């Protein structure tokens, strides 16, 4: 993985916390990162190039000007006032290359003195077994490397619940932790055949990222909610709001409040197309 800074830009050491998405159901992680970048008015400082990510190009996601300003698969942003770096991923990882990508990203973070990585993602609603309706359908779950069992006191104090299905003694989680080490003793081809229900979570991209950052000695915190495919902007607000609470960014957690500090990204205006013609009804 190679970093290409924009002219007169650099990755600041003061931005010791890194936020990035793990691609999953409904693109919630990417939407949440977009929301944070837009609301914090983070500055794009460069691009990452990795052979494990499919190439792609698109329009500027945050502003219609200047014309012709394009986005690439892996972009790096920085918010100096908050000591925060953000990576936005707009293209999927090549099939079978997730672990290699996670290793490269973890090495990049370690080489640039990142101390805490927050991974934003989502989980398939059909896999939600322990539903607690007291917290609503947008309950936020977390997973942290602070303790062996994945718990973190700060996340608990902020109303989040540890992902109950996380079992560090599960052999697939152990496998991921082993291949994330600097000198793994076994081959790194992850056996995806015959996955059972207990193997759903360690098979997801966030699991590879979490394990590789942890292996590099970097604190890793995953934040996610359950959702289905469709318009998941409300879930993005929930996940981004949880990240805001952890990072003390001062952003409001509720979409549409009069005192909300959220700035909806320009690209969201057309993400689901124009509204239906009322004459049809």
CATH of the domain at 237: 3.40.50.10900
Assess contact for 237 and 35: CB atoms under 8 A: yes
Q: Which residue has the tokens 């952003």?
A: 251
Per-residue model confidence (pLDDT) at position 274: 66
Report the pLDDT averaged over residues 190-216. 79
Report pLDDT for 188.
Answer: 47
Is residue 201 pLDDT above 90, yes or no?
no
Residue pointed to by tokens 């055949």: 193
Q: Is residue 9, in this structure, part of any structural domain at all? A: no
Report d(CA 248, CA 264) in Å as an integer.
19
Q: Which of 183-187, 198-202, 237-241 has the lowest mean pLDDT?
A: 183-187
C-alpha span between 261 and 250 (Å, rounded): 8
Q: Residue 116 falls within a domain, yes or no? A: yes
174 in a structural domain: yes
Q: Report d(CA 265, CA 41) in Å as an integer.
A: 10
Contact 146, 167 (CB under 8 A): no
Q: Which residue has the higher pLDDT, 182 or 248?
A: 248
* 1, pLDDT greater than 70: yes
Q: How high does pLDDT run on average in the chain?
A: 85
Q: What is the tally of structural domains in the chain?
A: 1
Whether 58 maps to a domain, the answer reads yes
Instruction: Give a three-class secondary structure readout of the chain.
Output: CEEEECCCCCCCCCCCEEEEECCCHHHHHHHHHHHHHHHHCCEEEEEEECCCECCCCEECCCCCCCCCCEECCEEEEEEHHHCEEEEEECCCECCCCHHHHHHHHHHHHHHCCCCEEEEEEEEEHHHCCCCCHHHCCCCCEEEECCCCCCCCHHHHHCCCEECCCCCCCCHHHHHHHHHHCCCCCCCCCCCCCCCCHHHCHHHCHHHHHHHHHHHCCCEEEEEEEEECCCCCHHHHHHHHHHHHHHHCCCCCCCCCCCCCCCCCCHHHHHCCCCCCCHHHC
Most confident among 132-141, 208-217, 222-231 (mean pLDDT): 208-217
252 pLDDT exceeds 80? no
| Predicted confidence band of residue 258 (pLDDT cuts 50, 70, 90) | very low
Assess if residue 274 is contained within a domain.
no
Choice among 76-85, 126-135, 231-240 with the minimum mean pLDDT: 126-135
Contact 217, 208 (CB under 8 A): no
Q: Specify if 230 maps to a domain.
A: yes
CB atoms within 10 A of CB 197: 9
pTM over 0.95: no
What residues make up the domain containing 63?
Answer: 15-127+135-188+198-269
The residue with greater pLDDT, 179 or 97, is 97
172 part of a folded domain: yes
Tell me if 278 is assigned to some domain: no
pLDDT digits (tens, 9 = 90+) for 33-72: 999 999 999 999 999 999 999 999 988 888 877 777 888 9
Residue 104 has a pLDDT of: 95
Res. 197 pLDDT band, cuts 50 70 90: low
pLDDT tens digits along 75-88: 999 999 999 999 99
d(CA 272, CA 4): 32
pLDDT of 139: 83
Q: 104-129: per-residue pLDDT in tens?
A: 999 999 999 999 999 999 998 777 66
């Amino acid at each position: 993985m190679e970093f290409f800074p924009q002219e007169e830009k650099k990755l600041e050491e003061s931005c010791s916390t890194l936020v990035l998405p793990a691609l999953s159901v409904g693109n919630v992680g990417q939407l949440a990162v977009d929301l944070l970048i837009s609301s914090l008015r983070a500055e794009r400082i460069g691009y990452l190039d990795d052979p494990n990510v499919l190439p792609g190009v698109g329009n500027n996601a945050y502003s219609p000007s200047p014309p012709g300003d394009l986005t690439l698969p892996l972009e790096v942003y920085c918010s100096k006032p908050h000591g925060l770096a953000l990576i936005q991923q707009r293209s999927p990882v090549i099939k079978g290359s997730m672990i290699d990508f996670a290793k490269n990203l973890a090495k990049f973070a370690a080489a640039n003195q990142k101390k805490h990585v927050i991974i934003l993602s989502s989980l398939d609603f059909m896999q939600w077994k322990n539903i607690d309706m007291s917290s609503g359908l947008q309950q936020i779950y977390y997973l942290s490397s602070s303790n062996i069992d994945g718990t973190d006191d700060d996340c608990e104090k902020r109303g989040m619940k540890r992902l109950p299905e996380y079992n560090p003694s599960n052999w697939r989680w152990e496998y991921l932790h082993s291949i994330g080490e600097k000198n793994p003793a076994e081959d790194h081809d992850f056996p995806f055949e015959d996955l059972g229900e207990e193997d759903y979570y360690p098979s997801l991209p966030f699991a590879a990222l979490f394990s590789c950052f942890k292996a590099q000695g970097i604190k890793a915190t995953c934040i996610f909610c359950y959702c289905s495919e469709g318009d998941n902007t409300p879930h993005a607000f929930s996940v981004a709001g949880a990240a805001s609470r952890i990072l003390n960014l001062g952003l409001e957690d509720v979409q549409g409040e009069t005192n909300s500090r959220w700035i909806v990204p320009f690209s969201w205006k057309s993400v689901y197309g124009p509204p239906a013609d009322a004459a049809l009804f």
